[in-house]
Amino acid sequence: MTFGEQPAYLRVAGDLRRKIVDGSLPPHARLPSQARIREEYGVSDTVALEARKVLMAEGLVEGRSGSGTYVREQPVPRRVARAGYRTGGTSTPFRQEQADAGARGTWESSSEQTGAPAEIAKRLGIEPGERVMRTRYVFRDAGEAMMLSTSWEPLAVTGRTPVMLPEEGPLGGSGVVDRMAAIDVVVDNVVEEVGARPGLAEEIMLLGGVPGHVVLVIGRTYFASGRAVETADVVVPADRYRLAYHLPVR
């Protein structure tokens, strides 16, 4: 193989990908069998198998037990708005952020006390194992799971206060900024880092999709006078949603 030449399996995968994109292989069409790929492209069984694996990893095709491999219908990406951190409202930040898009947002949540894992402790500036309130969310739009979130709040900040449980009490669901303000903790900075990785099995099960699909992960931390008071990981399917940020100019 000369410098710059693609391996055979990538060239085969590239040609099949082109056929999927241009509609020659439309959604729900059966992908050519391994034997057909071998004959059509003059490659070995190993090359044909690796080319199919590439398309599966990209989420372009899916295997159906006992039936074969089929072209997946590709969703049209929808926007997930990230519009800042408004205070004083009665709705949750999730609902505020989706209001402009006309989304019909609902969510499920569960909270429990636990020890902070090392990575989370580092983000919160506490010792590993210190007690935190962990809250898991599944956000839905018109019934479809669109986003997952797990948040951690140090109980050294919220413990034995009316806002210890994020979704219960007089300020349940009001968002971190307003809840912290109720206990005289003034949030003055928010940091978000956006990355991507393959979805974990449990994430894919909740969000729907194919194992190995890429998800966007927003690592968000709220600070009050330099002290982290909440950190969260927000997970969004990368093939179905795009993050849209509205940032004020100051």
Would you say the CATH fold of 78-245 matches that of 8-71?
Answer: no
Angle at 128 between CA 124 and CA 129, to 5 degrees: 110
CA-nearest of 77, 86, 129 to 239 is: 77
**1.10.10.10, 1.10.3470.10, 3.40.47.10, 3.20.20.70: which CATH number matches 8-71?**
1.10.10.10
Q: From CA 211, how far away is CA 202, in angstroms rounded?
A: 10
Picking from 70, 4, 19, 15, the residue whose alpha carbon sits closest to that of residue 48 is 15
pLDDT in tens, 222-233: 999 999 999 999
84 vs 21, which has greater pLDDT?
A: 21
Alpha helices in the chain (DSSP H): 8-22, 34-41, 45-57, 93-99, 118-124, 155-158, 176-181, 201-207
Domain borders along the chain are 8-71, 78-245
Percent of the chain with pLDDT over 70: 86
- pLDDT-above-90 percentage for the chain: 56
pLDDT, one tens digit per residue, over 100-140 is 455 556 889 999 999 999 999 999 999 999 999 999 999 98
Q: What pLDDT score does 3 carry?
A: 43
Q: Domain 78-245, CATH 3.90.550.10 — does that match?
A: no
Model confidence pLDDT, tens digit, residues 7-34: 999 999 999 999 998 999 999 999 999 8
Q: What is the pLDDT of residue 5?
A: 72
User: Of 79-88, 129-138, 158-167, 202-211, which range is least confident?
Assistant: 79-88
